[in-house]
Structure 1
Amino acid sequence: MGETVSERGSGTFHVVLAGLIAAVVGFTSSFAVVLTGLRAVGASDTQAASGLAALCLAMGLSALLLSTRLRMPVSVAWSTPGAALLASTGAPAGGFAAAVGAFLVAGVLLVAAGLWGPLGRAIAAIPAPLANAMLAGVLLSLCLAPARAAVEIPRLALPVVVVWLLLTRWAPRWAVPGALAVAAVGVGLDTPAGLGDALRGTSVLAAPDPVAPELALPAVIGLAVPLFLVTMASQNIPGMGVLASYGYRPSLRPLLGVTGAATVAAAPFGGHAVNLAALTAALAAGPSAGPDPQRRWIAGATSGIAYVVLGLLGGLVTALAGLAPVLLLQAVAGLALLGALTSALRAALDDAGMRDAAVVTLVVTVSGVSVGGVGSAFWGLVAGWAVLALTRLPAAVHSAPAAPRPR
């Protein structure tokens, strides 16, 4: 028998609800990471608000376009590991304008990876342990923030950590949003003038604050290239894997073309990178979005619309975040990234033959060293490659039989 009108309406409700949940969870679980990263590379509060809004609009329009055109639940997100990279790298020489130039280059590289096969194959050839070790090194500095916050601002941080722990045990999907809500309540109670007075005069809507990009070689090498690599390795490739696990196998070319172009468009307004969702993709593509796989594209399109709305409210979101101590915001970001850190460490150390090279990549990346204005993420990957190449050299000649002595 065919599907009744009531059943079809119920199915539509559930698939729309799945899309809304995917957008809300994706936004609330990592927007603190994005704001932390943008401020670390020199963005002012208005520039950070502009970047957050630009990313949401780029994500939303990309998800809406891809889901409706491909009839697949394509979820799009900002690069959370990329934002963590910004936080660990710090402001490049040339300030935020140079960072914006790096964002632009990263977007061009994403488009090129989709259009030019050799580049995509070259990225795929990077050993997964080294890529994951670099990612783990990038994430580690932010993941230490909850411990520091618990000691330095215990009144605000400890309730956040406790709620996160409890929800991780009984409602993992809502652990980070719940922690964020507790942080917001704590900041509200801790604001002497009250939230109303503190936010008086704040614009609810985000105002675009374009920045003329500056193409500086150190920022391109130390920021754009690592940003491109972590976005491909930790977002786009896993995102394709999630779609494939639910039976959706779109061509990678249009996905990289659209998200790369969206990154290029968002860059002058402060957006760092747009890519396929990896963590929240299952919410729109899985059975929770409805029993009919042919209609789950509606969840992807709905999440896109929701991101557009959240982007338009970026001014209010950034103003609220600005009331919180920086360390508290970093602590929430660190809690949001602990799962990603666990996965990256496991993947980095799983291959015994590459373990030494992965550890070198990790420690150099964590060190925060900068050589010639180029950040530690790039040098960590270079050091790991060097160790890997050394371990694969032929054994020393001492294993050859000794020449006979003259009589």
Structure 2
Amino acid sequence: MTSVYLDNNATTRVDIRVAEAMLPTLTEVFGNPSSLHAFGAVAKAAVAAAREDVRALIGAAHADEIVFTSGGTESDALAILGALGSATSGRTEIVISVVEHPAVRRLCQSLQKTRGLVLHEIPVDGHGRLDRAAYAAALSARTALVSIMWANNETGTVFPVADLAAAAKTAGALFHTDAVQAVGRLPVGVAERMIDLLSLSGHKLHAPKGVGALYVRRGVRLAAQTSGGSQERGRRAGTENVPGIVALGAACALAAERIASDTPRIAALRDTLETGLLARVAGARVLGDSESRVANTTSIAFAAVESEAVVRLLDRHGIAVSSGSACAAGSVEPSHVVRAMGVPEDFARGVVRFSLSRETTAAEIDRVLAVVPAVIGELRADRFEPAA
């Protein structure tokens, strides 16, 4: 049985070229970048080269605006806690969307409880689009930080971060975006936008797990969250993860090289999958903004089935998909994103996310189209089968 992997929003396979770039750092370029001898100098140069590759992909103006972290969650935490730690007196409010990743949403909710900060969670409409009027009303001279994701991890809906950042700056607030699902899939160009802080994660763009980065625009004050050495210009203490950083740099270089050609091909495959499923399965609807989505993501709600059952049965057929965010796996309740969009209950429990990558093939999409309708039909038959 040939397996099909369509859960790339949870994690991607490490590209072989990324692995090859990383391998020497495990056995040859093993020095500590902070050491003064030649071994350290070689490692330091490798980190610097990777920093430049990350800078180039996201369009930052300066390489020293890139801070390496352990991944998206740490980048989000460093951005939010670091920004609040440097906030001016009187700015005690945070603005986020109601559909933020838990790395942002739960942290901000915790800060509301433990520090007494005021949290504004901006609603979305039925397509996952931000309520722009509510957003504008939430901004004030009391706003310290705005954190709005660039692309939603469950639906793929893209938020107008350039406009949102400009509005935040007008209010005198810092603007952070969790761009974990956008970097490598969309041209982000932070230098030409009013974005102060941007989070990214390596394992979403064919680098290993355990490495990420935070963009910090020059001039933005960021309170360090770990004490120790002076690594990352004093913003993130701890010996650098040289193998992970080199891998992240290689993945960013590949993404920059391929994004223009990969994006339309992936979007075409997604559209074939989406159109085919809607034609073959009654009682199905696409969630998210069809006019503004990342190319690789489709989230489809199937009526009269449980998404977890769909995921498990497809797995038996060698097809890997997700019932929303990997961070909520195992939950039988609709995700906070689905709830926020007001998806009707019968559909809300049957949401399945299909997320493609540059490795996805047309043959794999054909196989999914052949298997999914039968799986949905089988589950619906079991659900409505009369009692003996």
TM-score (norm 1): 0.25
- Which structure dedicates a bigger proportion of its chain to helix? 1
Kindly indicate whether structure 1 or structure 2 has the higher relative contact order, using CA contacts under 8 Å at least 6 residues apart: 1
State which structure, 1 or 2, has the greater radius of gyration over its C-alpha atoms: 1
